[in-house]
Amino acid sequence: MAVTPLISSDSHIIEPPDLWTERIEPEFRERAPRVVREEGGDWWYIDGKPSMSFLGAQTGDRFEKDATELMLEARFEQVRPAAYDPRRYLEENASDGVMGQVLYPSEALMAYGIPDPALCSAAMRAYNDYIAEFCSEDRGRLKGIALLNVDDPDEAVRELARCRELGLAGAMISVLPPADRGYDHPMYEPLWSAAVDLDMPLSMHVATGRERASVVAQESTVRVSEAAFYLQDHFVRKSLGEMIFAGVFERHPKLRVGSIEHEVSWVPFFLFQMDYCYTDRPLRGDWHRFADPDARPSHFFRSNCFVSFQEDAVGLRVRDVVGVRTLMWGSDYPHTEATFPRSREITAEILADVPEDEQALVLRDNVARLYGFDLDALAP
């Protein structure tokens, strides 16, 4: 049986249509994310390019409808009010047994694809202000995640510090930085240090690649979009692997970096491959060697990384390889694939064979420790 209370390590809000038109700096207002009403639904546009329609209009429908009946377009009026009203947000999630949430954006995920660094950063600052206000409804139950553009690490450090002052609990970085600036690059050292000093865990969420512009809704891109879903762990493996092999966690042993919404089952083979490359392949160039001769890449994954998942029962069977203290469940509310309103039922099913003490780690304790939830205060 699932442990009470549930804490979601990956929940979302739906941004109101006027978020950027009201909050972004005036010089970026004409290019900022805005809503355009089209025949099939309301669409977000960023710098004149279509991004996506509104999520949060069919939460729970996947349990009642065939996949062919689910929508790709919706109007804002169809979005459930709890997705953008913090008081209703808390009430609706409590009805699902979820008493605390780590909050990620919806449309603002697409900000990582804005090619212009200045516009990208401005859009993120406006969102950070918004989510800090949203969480002020109850900071004990709502933990907001800031958005960071790391094109300029010094700017990212300043925004990270500002967001900490705003009361946000962590920050998100691109799951796919530009090819010539992977996370093994020394330019990011100030950011890693600041994240530790400010006690701000960093996370990489699916669909936050920095290398490409916002998705254009064209029929010719449908197959690419499908592949982006079933191959989504590719980019997070690349980025985490770069950090581990470059010795980032060896230099910053208190740094925490997480994979969000990429599920779990890919992790065991990823760890095996990293360790095998480190121990059994000939050295290539200036491959980093850890100071501790017994250390392996997998050690740093288990000590410094965390993994948020939704329904990966297979991944839970190999939790001993992944590291049970790295695992954190998330509901993905209010997106189409969310476990709401069956989070209790789903978590009970996928953790049925997991000992109760490990269930507690996965469903509440790990995320509570990482983001500072007070479990006593969350009791219903």
* pLDDT digit string (tens) for the chain, length 380 residues: 444 689 999 999 999 999 999 999 999 999 999 999 999 999 999 999 999 999 999 999 999 999 999 999 999 999 999 999 999 999 999 999 999 999 999 999 999 999 999 999 999 999 999 999 999 999 999 999 999 999 999 999 999 999 999 999 999 999 999 888 999 999 999 999 999 999 999 999 999 998 653 333 333 333 345 555 667 899 999 999 999 999 999 999 999 999 999 999 999 999 999 999 999 988 877 889 999 999 999 999 999 999 999 999 999 999 999 999 999 999 999 999 999 999 999 999 999 999 999 999 999 999 999 999 999 999 87
Q: State the pLDDT at residue 377.
A: 93
The domains located in the chain, with CATH, are: 6-13+85-378 (3.20.20.140)
Rounded Cα gap, residues 251 and 291, in angstroms = 10
For residue 362, give the nearest of 264, 275, 219 by alpha carbon: 264
Q: State the pLDDT at residue 225.
A: 52
Rounded Cα gap, residues 181 and 105, in angstroms = 25
Rounded Cα gap, residues 68 and 90, in angstroms = 31
End-to-end CA distance of the chain: 17
Q: State the pLDDT at residue 202.
A: 99
Q: State the pLDDT at residue 282.
A: 86
Our CA angle for 118, 42, 20, nearest 5°, is 30
Q: State the pLDDT at residue 213.
A: 38
Q: Take residue 309 and report the two structure tokens written for it.
A: 């998942």
Q: Read off the pTM.
A: 0.94
DSSP tag of 7: E
Rounded Cα gap, residues 337 and 268, in angstroms = 25
| Torsion sign across C-alpha atoms 83, 84, 90, 92 | negative
